[in-house]
Structure 1
Amino acid sequence: MTKMLLAAGLAALMAGTSGVALAQSGNGVLTVATIGEPPTLDAMQTPTDIVLTITQHMFETLYTYDDKWQPSPLLAAAMPEISQDGLTYRIPLRQGVTFHDGSAFDSADVVASLKRWMEINSKGRQVAQVIESVAADGDQTVVIKLKSRYSPLLATLSQGWAPIFPSEKLGGELKEFIGTGPYKLQERRPDQYTQLVRFDGYKSPEGEPSNYAGRREAIAGEVRFVPVPDANTRVEGLLSGQYDYADALPVSAYERVEGASNVKPVIFENAGWTSLNMNMAEGPLTSKPLRQAVQTALNPSDMMLAAFSDERFFSVDGAFYPEGFFWHTEDGVTRYGEGDPEAAAKLMKEAGYDGKPIRILTSRQYEFHYKTGEVAKAYLEAAGFKVDLQVVDWATLTTRRADKGQWDIFITHSNFPGDPTTLNTITDTYPGWYTSDAKTKAVGAFLNAVSNDDRLAAWKTIQTTIYDDAPLVKVGNFNALGGLANGVSGYQAAYWPRFWNVTPKS
């Protein structure tokens, strides 16, 4: 399950050993402090970071991402055979794979799972518009037929929100969380822990480990994910030895973690980017000039400095991909700078802003979200907006943002996907509900592009269109900080922390 970055500028610092730990599987426990309680373990329903961090150990997809952030087979046996017209994908499946309940994995499971994914997942519903059919051809082959070319198909199938479940367990709400992954669900106690234990019947893909691809070994007998919403509590728990890994630490804790004798910091460079996403379906920000006024009013430098404190952990860049990535371009970047309240006030007047408060949703479970929101509030108020900053837990935010009538802006962060059309912003049904004729035309050109040159040219047009339509404000890029206990080996920094091939401390 992945968090997608194009390999070209990604440099992840490693913690632990320089390679995958080779050890006999034992009964050791890895205790992982996460940013909070997952709202569900059904990754199709709510594909948020916390959900995918946990469920990637339980569920597997047809493809996943290698260290070049290119699709690589996981439950598929090989890359698909694609017809000359680009409309038919024949996907061979691995044999001998079983689910946690002992049932055999086959094409019926893939067909049923993908159909459910196309019904209930935002990315799946987007893909469903171009899929003519998904059908089994025998037990070990699935055939996907498209209505039109769709270049991101494999990238989308490589993401953790398209897991394969047993077909017999599907139908309505998912009641049993059964997958093919190296770990299976043992017990979930809300607000206490999610306990995964080794699946002894696991059949790993072949090949050297490469990001999320390659060999997976459940070395630890148990991985326990503990929700710890307060960032400082995660730090203290790590330092005290309570946790083997602590995720999403505040950068202000770097020196303490680095100076401790029992733990070490883990940095993941260009982990993602923060954004303020605007509601284009209901409320005052359905007005394009008013959205552009929000962009104009904000100061990315001050928001990133407040959020991350140390310039080692962020960069201010309006492009949707960092410099050095294949998809990096400055085309179209506008209204991105140091904040101009006078220009913003002029746009507000043109838009007929009536003084209705702009409701901003943020959460302290990601402390950098909250600090970004505080600075954004100050700059928007300086321009003349009234602002209602609502601080809620992350689970509440993800629930509330699905209701078009409850918010105007929500703060989140995203990764840098291997295929730009898998950016959440591109999805019509992602909260914010960004649709426009210009976006549809620009994305259509990308989907039909064949060569990388044509795809890059089409992406430049998409970025330009996004800035003109103003569905969001990109704030900046950030590095992520975690902490790892000494004695834990084999862990490699990753956007979604993963714990197969990791040996617990003895």
Structure 2
Amino acid sequence: MARRPLALLALALAGALAIGACSGGSDDGAPAAGDGAPAAGDGPEGTLVVAAAEEPETLDFMASTQGNVHFRTINVVETLFAFDDEWAPQPLLADTVEASPDLTTYTITLRNVKLHNGDPLTSADVVASLERWMEVDGRAAGWMTGLESLEATDDTTVVFTFSVPKPLLPSYLATTTTGIIAASAAEAAGTGVLEPEQLIGTGPFMIDHWESGVELVLKAFPDYVPPEGEPSGHAGAREAGVEEIVYRPVLDESARLAGLQTGEFNYVESLPLDQLDIIESTDGVEVTPRIVGSVAAYLNTQDPVIGDPAMRRALLVALNMDEIAASLGPDELWELSPAIPSSGTRFASDAGTDDWNAGDPDRARSMAEQAGYDGEPLVVITTSTPATYRMAILLEEQLEKAGFTVEPQLMETAAMQERRSQPDGWHIAMGQINNVPDATQLSALSCGNTVGAYCSEEMNGLVSAFSSATSDSDLTAAHDAIQELFYQDLPYIKGPEVSDLNATYHLADFDPTKLNVPHLWNARLTQ
């Protein structure tokens, strides 16, 4: 059977692949960021301290699509492919890639690298990892439709065989949920929770320990084998530039700002938007906005009040996105677009979006009455994360103008994550939707998602049709159909696309990638 190498495959498919804490020093005796760290040298040096705005519930990167999980695990676990800054998948753990002319068979050989336990990476690790991923990531069912076999044909070769063309397979295998770990760990975890000690990956950093609510410590992996190529997004050359990375949850934004100014932290998430001038004027500080995706209002499709899509569409019609965006800070930190997943992706369009940013309280009131709304309180839950909190305030005001009764509840992150996983006790949950190459990679559209429980066989069919399309016109038409159904069913309301106001302190070679998950490889301390 004739086969094509990845370079030729990419040309043949053209755009199909290319879519896509307290201020002052530490009070626990631990060194502050950069303490004793010399200027950058040839090897990893010093401790890079991260002030994280949220603490993840888990480090199970396969089962969770939460950004605060992947910001940590992306430095530990690697994928067969990785997206560059243009959302084009490039080989990472893959060494050679050949596809059959009909794109139903992919043969991938592996680079010669080691796992963190010292064992060589083998095809058995890849198969076990991807088999677990397909069990725990609800999106996998649509992406891998038609998979007939996934085989390790020798120690370094994996063969995927499908009954339908699968032009987007490299793109799917570049998502951070498809990371490869030791087969023993993947098999032991099964469909249960992947524990921190089971994150036996191949990345430039490895897990040292995680004390939830206190710190996660990663150590440089001394036997790391870097890929080649110019760094771009998650692709290209990478290495550990520091000896260890320490993630500390610092939930108060003023404490994060104070720690940045005193040099306690080297990388700080979600700084106060109204302090931008002060941040920019601080010596040694560089503002590095992180594209986080879109602010969103997840809708509880299981709830009897808003279970009817007509009711959910009434909520959308009430909202004025221009007003919401204006509350989110400087213009350079947000953008308005109804396209899912975002405006910067290849398939961005306005299909089905007529009611987005309508800002029409009278029409919304009429639509709600026709859908049977009788003044029941709508419970809106949110954390204090700046963008989601500010959208929650405007959402409350605008819904009340349209005649809705709104009951806002401010919650800690862990409590909110627990609440929104339940079928009752909430109607609207504020959150963020990560940027991804196409709408099929949105977990909110897949059955089995844990927020709102949207599940549609029609949507599943459209996702499968997109994943099997081979021409530009078919891909575009299939993606538009997904977006049109999205705006009919409305599992969540897309708000403005936003960037977090993040910053670094005396940190060189940090890449604030255009992708949704930042990384800390290659970054080095300068003092």
Q: Hey, what does 1:163 align to over in structure 2?
A: 179
Q: Hey, what does 2:519 align to over in structure 1?
A: 498
Q: Hey, what does 2:310 align to over in structure 1?
A: 289
Counterpart mapping for 1:119-198 below 5 A = 119-127=135-143, 129-169=145-185, 170-172=187-189, 173-175=193-195, 176=197, 177-198=199-220
Partner SS, residue 439 of structure 1: helix
Q: Does the Cα contact within 8 Å between 2:18 and 2:89 map onto a contact in 1?
A: no
Q: How many residues align?
A: 484
Q: Hey, what does 2:332 align to over in structure 1?
A: 312
Q: Hey, what does 1:16 align to over in structure 2?
A: none
* Change in CA separation of 1:439 and 1:362 when aligned onto 2, cut-off 3 Å: same
RMSD, aligned α-carbons: 2.3
Counterpart mapping for 1:52-71 below 5 A = 52-71=70-89
Q: Does the Cα contact within 8 Å between 2:256 and 2:268 map onto a contact in 1?
A: yes
TM-score, normalised to structure 2, is 0.86
Residue 128 of structure 1 deviates from its aligned partner by 5.2
Residue 438 of structure 1 deviates from its aligned partner by 4.6
Task: Give unmatched runs, 5+ long, in structure 1.
Answer: 1-5, 10-20
The structure 1 residue matched to 2:321, chosen from 285, 288, 300, is 300
* Change in CA separation of 1:189 and 1:73 when aligned onto 2, cut-off 3 Å: same
Residue 146 of structure 1 deviates from its aligned partner by 2.4
Q: Hey, what does 1:375 align to over in structure 2?
A: 394
- Separation of aligned partners in 2, 1:29 and 1:110: 31
Residue 242 of structure 1 deviates from its aligned partner by 0.8
- Separation of aligned partners in 2, 1:221 and 1:415: 29
Counterpart mapping for 1:71-86 below 5 A = 71-78=89-96, 80-86=97-103
- Superposed CA deviations along residues 238-271 of structure 1, whole A, max 9, x for unmatched, are 1111101112223222111111123121134x54
Residue 56 of structure 1 deviates from its aligned partner by 0.7
- Separation of aligned partners in 2, 1:8 and 1:122: 21
* Change in CA separation of 1:60 and 1:188 when aligned onto 2, cut-off 3 Å: same
- Separation of aligned partners in 1, 2:325 and 2:402: 19
Larger deviation: 284-293 or 296-305? 296-305
Q: Hey, what does 1:278 align to over in structure 2?
A: 299
Residue 325 of structure 1 deviates from its aligned partner by 4.4
- Superposed CA deviations along residues 375-403 of structure 1, whole A, max 9, x for unmatched, are 11122222222223222222333333222
- Separation of aligned partners in 1, 2:61 and 2:282: 36
Residue 196 of structure 1 deviates from its aligned partner by 0.7
Task: Give unmatched runs, 5+ long, in structure 2.
Answer: 1-16, 21-38
- Separation of aligned partners in 2, 1:328 and 1:159: 19
Q: Aligned AA for 1:383?
A: A
* Change in CA separation of 1:280 and 1:322 when aligned onto 2, cut-off 3 Å: closer
Residue 357 of structure 1 deviates from its aligned partner by 2.2
Residue 224 of structure 1 deviates from its aligned partner by 0.9
Residue 500 of structure 1 deviates from its aligned partner by 1.0
Q: Does the Cα contact within 8 Å between 1:334 and 1:467 map onto a contact in 2?
A: no
Question: Alignment identity in percent?
Answer: 32
Q: Aligned AA for 1:302?
A: E
The structure 1 residue matched to 2:48, chosen from 30, 45, 57, is 30
Q: Hey, what does 1:471 align to over in structure 2?
A: 491
Q: Does the Cα contact within 8 Å between 2:149 and 2:162 map onto a contact in 1?
A: yes
Q: Hey, what does 2:350 align to over in structure 1?
A: 330
The structure 2 residue matched to 1:461, chosen from 481, 486, 489, is 481
* Change in CA separation of 1:46 and 1:323 when aligned onto 2, cut-off 3 Å: closer
- Separation of aligned partners in 2, 1:174 and 1:472: 28
- Separation of aligned partners in 1, 2:378 and 2:472: 41
Larger deviation: 163-172 or 238-247? 163-172
- Separation of aligned partners in 1, 2:511 and 2:418: 32
- Separation of aligned partners in 2, 1:426 and 1:49: 17
Q: Aligned AA for 2:157?
A: T
Q: Hey, what does 1:15 align to over in structure 2?
A: none
Residue 24 of structure 1 deviates from its aligned partner by 0.6
Residue 51 of structure 1 deviates from its aligned partner by 0.8
Q: Does the Cα contact within 8 Å between 1:118 and 1:127 map onto a contact in 2?
A: no
* Change in CA separation of 1:406 and 1:117 when aligned onto 2, cut-off 3 Å: farther
Residue 108 of structure 1 deviates from its aligned partner by 0.7
- Separation of aligned partners in 2, 1:165 and 1:357: 46
Q: Aligned AA for 2:218?
A: L
Counterpart mapping for 1:37-52 below 5 A = 37-52=55-70
Q: Does the Cα contact within 8 Å between 2:19 and 2:437 map onto a contact in 1?
A: no
Q: Hey, what does 2:282 align to over in structure 1?
A: 260
Q: Aligned AA for 2:93?
A: L
Q: Does the Cα contact within 8 Å between 2:341 and 2:442 map onto a contact in 1?
A: no
Counterpart mapping for 1:202-221 below 5 A = 202-221=224-243
Q: Aligned AA for 2:407?
A: D
- Superposed CA deviations along residues 22-58 of structure 1, whole A, max 9, x for unmatched, are 8411431111111122211221232311110011111
